[in-house]
Amino acid sequence: MTRLTDLPATQAKNLAELPCPEFATRPWVTGPALSERRVAIVSSAGLVVRGENPFRGRDPDFRVIPGDTKADGLLMSHISVNYDRTGFQEDWNVVLPIDPLNELAADGAIGSVAATHYSFMGATDPVQMEPHAREVADRLKRDQVDAVILPPV
């Protein structure tokens, strides 16, 4: 199962036709070469550091994932059951690629890795997420981040 066409017809239709917000603007930020960028991950997989509160349903806020979090310290509390979790169970980098990101920094392909990453619950209403996303943006700026990768799940 690798493509939307491989999913049950009802699930595929629901995913493809999920209501999306209309935006009046098309922001586009440029920056230095990739080798000079400081990169953070902002996931929508409902990730949470072990011991902290998991997402409850469609909570619109976010969880902080320190860059030195160990693999055993990361849990997934996404509301949906309609996606594979066995990949994440074997290797967290399938969802939150902290190890490859650190390798790219060591290789010099990127400038550095952010001190902190973040996770949202992706099935949440984007309008409710907006103030929390803007708070994350402020935190990223304070960490001198100028590039963000956004993996779904």
- Minimum Å gap between C-beta 9 and another protein is 11
Nearest to 55 by CA among 132, 115, 134: 132
Length of the chain: 153
- Minimum Å gap between C-beta 1 and another protein is 5
- Minimum Å gap between C-beta 27 and another protein is 4
**Secondary structure of residue 29 in the 3-state scheme:** coil
Nearby residues of 144 by Cβ (< 8 Å), 6 or more positions away: 38
- Minimum Å gap between C-beta 35 and another protein is 10
- Minimum Å gap between C-beta 3 and another protein is 6
Nearby residues of 101 by Cβ (< 8 Å), 6 or more positions away: 39, 41, 110, 113, 149
Nearby residues of 148 by Cβ (< 8 Å), 6 or more positions away: 39, 40, 41, 42, 140
User: How many whole angstroms separate alpha carbon 48 and alpha carbon 127?
Assistant: 22
Nearer to another protein among residue 7 and residue 64 (C-beta): 7
> CA 98 from chain center: how many Å?
11
Nearer to another protein among residue 66 and residue 91 (C-beta): 91
